[in-house]
Amino acid sequence: MVTFKFQTRTVLVLLASCGVSLFAERPNIVFVFSDDHATQAIGAYGHPIAKLAPTPNLDRLAEQGMRFDRCMVTNSICGPSRAAILTGKYSHLNGFYFNESTEFDGSQVTFPKLLQAAGYQTSIIGKWHLGSDPTGFDHWEILPGQGLYYRPEFRGPNGVVTEDGYVTDVVTDKAIQWLEHQRDSDQPFMLMVQHKAPHREWSPPVKYLNLFDGVTFPEPATLFDDYRGRGTAAHDQDMSLAQTFEKDRDMKVDVRREDSVFHERVYSRLSLEQKALWDRDLDRRETIYNDPDLKGVSLVRWKYQSYLRDYLACVRSLDDNVGRLQDYLESSGLAENTVFIYSSDQGFYLGEHGWFDKRFMYDESYRTPLLVSWPGVVPAGSVNRDLVSNLDFAQTFLEIANVPVSAEMQGASLVDLLAGEAPEDWRDYHYYHYYEYPGWHMVQRHEGVYDGRYKLIHFYDLDEWELLDLESDPHELTNQYHNSDYAEIKERMHTALRSVKRRYQVPEGIPTPRSGVDPMQYYSTERRLVEALK
């Protein structure tokens, strides 16, 4: 890595000595990244939910640039997704398999380091969620851990500060402040704006507490999925609205007690004026919840509506702030030479299969939004349906900046796709691997391969296989693995799985991520606390 940096800087010095402008044609990069944002909650993706909860600024980005319909993640959970984006490597090579009790190895080659070495100013503001301090950034202000929605804390090289305000607004304020006052206007920049929203516990800003009062969101067809067509993993998960959705942090009922998790993370951080508005909303929730007739199917339906109102109100604030940043870039004259990328660390279940989290290789959590605007390069209003991945982001950013990639990176640049030219050798299959079991929501470890229609999934601790046909079964309800009509497809997908594992250097046998790291230790402690508070 040191050699690479030296060579890059040497090239830049030689170019400068020859009178070549280093930065005139090198675009800026703004990467806006949210947490747990489902494509179902973005208007540009055309889901019925988004018709009732519009996202005009994200839609504007799609209208100006390209919408990717098949952007798949390598590992559908927050930290590992971020590590894959930074390194361009799968979890088994970057060492970050799951969220809890682990730290990202910041000594690795990352795309911010390579951009920084090539003369880019690099900045990250907002959620980091990787345990260690950021490396490769000239400027960093990050949310400790998951971060807080109200009066958020930010950690930087000089310590921790608490900021008044709502976290999505504050992250954007800091991003604009850095752009306007702290960067060197003679150099190109790469700015990562990383939001907490719309992560659990989905606490909206007070101005949007009642945004969706009177709105009834359409229920997904699989809200009451009984999992009869799937195996053990779908039955045994701990992420259902019916069983897992918590009275405290999720339903926000009986939360004003000082021993409440919600009280600690939200209520105690409110101003008196904010508490008055929240109290009115909490009173309403508790009145509905305490209705003796609210039980069974009716209770699940109420949980679903309550969940979406909170989640989508957080999304509305997120969309507002994407618009604020877009407006600043346009008014400052930066937009013309800036690539603007929006994505999330993975998708999310908005009631599909009766769930509210992520982790599985099923579509809602496996697929993440990706919207890209690049004036003069990306055709406005274009749509791409190739199999792309968050694994590709690092190499894409580097090619945009005309910076050589690291040989360690495993993805592929999206630049040709952004220009509307698909390479002939673009991937036919995408590999996925989830490791965090036992742990939050108790989703079994699994790996799989996807070709755009079929998925082959292996829950290897259970030695159970699933083969899904998304063309005939878009809701992924029926396992065709033992259906003889799919014998040839099954064999092809097995061959593909073996091939992609070789390509990505996946170790043989059952994986054993980092000895001594036990996600269950954190999970058990937190769950005991939650159960005690119920």
Alpha-helix runs per DSSP H in 34-107: 48-52, 56-64, 78-87, 91-94
Mean pLDDT score across all residues of the chain:
92
Q: Give the DSSP letter of residue 90.
A: -
Asked whether 518 and 469 are in contact (CB, 8 A), the reply is: no
pLDDT digits (tens, 9 = 90+) for 45-57: 999 999 999 999 9
CA atoms of 420 and 525, how far apart (whole Å): 50
Amino acid of residue 484: S
For the record, the structure tokens of 429 come out as: 């299959």
User: Mean pLDDT, to the nearest integer, of 304-321?
Assistant: 98
Residue 509, pLDDT score:
85
Query: Any idea which of 202-216, 374-388, 512-526 has the lowest mean pLDDT?
Result: 512-526
For the record, the structure tokens of 335 come out as: 């937009």
Q: Peptide bond before 27: cis, by omega within 30 degrees of 0?
A: no
Q: Please choose, from the candidates 328, 358, 355, 357, the residue with its C-alpha nearest in 3D space to the C-alpha of residue 340.
A: 328
* SS3 assignment for 347-389: CCCCCHHHECCCCCCCHHHHECCEEEECCCCCCCCEEECCCEE
User: Mean pLDDT, to the nearest integer, of 317-331?
Assistant: 98
Residue 521, pLDDT score:
55
* Neighbour tally for 308: CB within 10 Å: 26
For the record, the structure tokens of 58 come out as: 């994200």
Residue 384, pLDDT score:
98
- For each of the domains in the chain, give its residue range(s) and CATH number, in order of start: 1-11+26-415 (3.40.720.10), 432-526 (3.30.1120.10)
* Confidence bin at 511 (pLDDT 50/70/90): confident
Amino acid of residue 456: L
Query: Any idea which of 20-34, 67-81, 222-236 has the lowest mean pLDDT?
Result: 20-34
CA atoms of 46 and 53, how far apart (whole Å): 11
pLDDT for 321 beyond 50: yes
User: For residue 233, how far is the Cα from the chain centroid?
Assistant: 23
* Neighbour tally for 475: CB within 10 Å: 17
For the record, the structure tokens of 277 come out as: 């508005």
* Confidence bin at 182 (pLDDT 50/70/90): very high
pLDDT digits (tens, 9 = 90+) for 122-148: 999 999 999 999 999 999 999 999 999
What is the sign of the dihedral through the CA atoms of 347, 353, 354 and 355? negative
CA atoms of 412 and 429, how far apart (whole Å): 13
Q: How far apart are the first and last CA of the chain?
A: 51
pLDDT for 427 beyond 50: yes
Q: Give the DSSP letter of residue 462.
A: T
Amino acid of residue 91: S
Residue 518, pLDDT score:
54
Q: Peptide bond before 180: cis, by omega within 30 degrees of 0?
A: no
Asked whether 88 and 406 are in contact (CB, 8 A), the reply is: yes
Place of tokens 């009173």: 283
Q: Tell me the CA distances in angstroms from 204 to 269, 303, 332, one per residue in order.
A: 14, 16, 30
User: Mean pLDDT, to the nearest integer, of 177-202?
Assistant: 97
Residues in the chain: 534
Residue 101, pLDDT score:
61
Share of the chain above pLDDT 90, in %: 89
| Half-sphere exposure (Cβ direction) of 209: Cα atoms closer than 13 Å | 16
* Confidence bin at 213 (pLDDT 50/70/90): very high
Question: Which residues 6+ apart lie within 8 Å of 105 measured at CB?
Answer: 94, 95, 96, 132
Residue 238, pLDDT score:
97
| Helices and strands, number each (H, E), in the chain | 16, 16
| Half-sphere exposure (Cβ direction) of 199: Cα atoms closer than 13 Å | 22
Q: Please choose, from the candidates 107, 105, 95, 111, the residue with its C-alpha nearest in 3D space to the C-alpha of residue 131.
A: 105
CA atoms of 376 and 358, how far apart (whole Å): 36
pLDDT for 470 beyond 60: yes
pLDDT for 7 beyond 80: no
CA atoms of 346 and 390, how far apart (whole Å): 9
User: Mean pLDDT, to the nearest integer, of 508-512?
Assistant: 83
pLDDT for 14 beyond 80: no
pLDDT digits (tens, 9 = 90+) for 228-280: 999 999 999 999 999 999 999 999 999 999 999 999 999 999 999 999 999 99
pLDDT for 62 beyond 50: yes
Encode 83-95: b = buried (16+ Cβ within 10 Å), e = exposed.
Answer: bbbbbbbbbbbbb
- Supply the angle between the helices 296-331 and 272-289 in degrees, to the nearest 10: 150
Helix, strand, coil: what percent of the chain each, to 5?
Answer: 40, 15, 45
Place of tokens 């040497």: 10
CA atoms of 145 and 330, how far apart (whole Å): 33
Residue 112 phi/psi, 5-degree rounding, is -60, -35
Which element (helix H / strand E) includes 528?
helix 519-533
pLDDT digits (tens, 9 = 90+) for 141-162: 999 999 999 999 999 999 999 9
Q: What angle do CA 381, 382, 384 make, to 5 degrees?
A: 145
Query: Any idea which of 190-194, 382-386, 517-521 has the lowest mean pLDDT?
Result: 517-521
CA atoms of 285 and 278, how far apart (whole Å): 11
* Confidence bin at 5 (pLDDT 50/70/90): very low
pLDDT digits (tens, 9 = 90+) for 396-422: 999 999 999 999 999 999 999 999 998
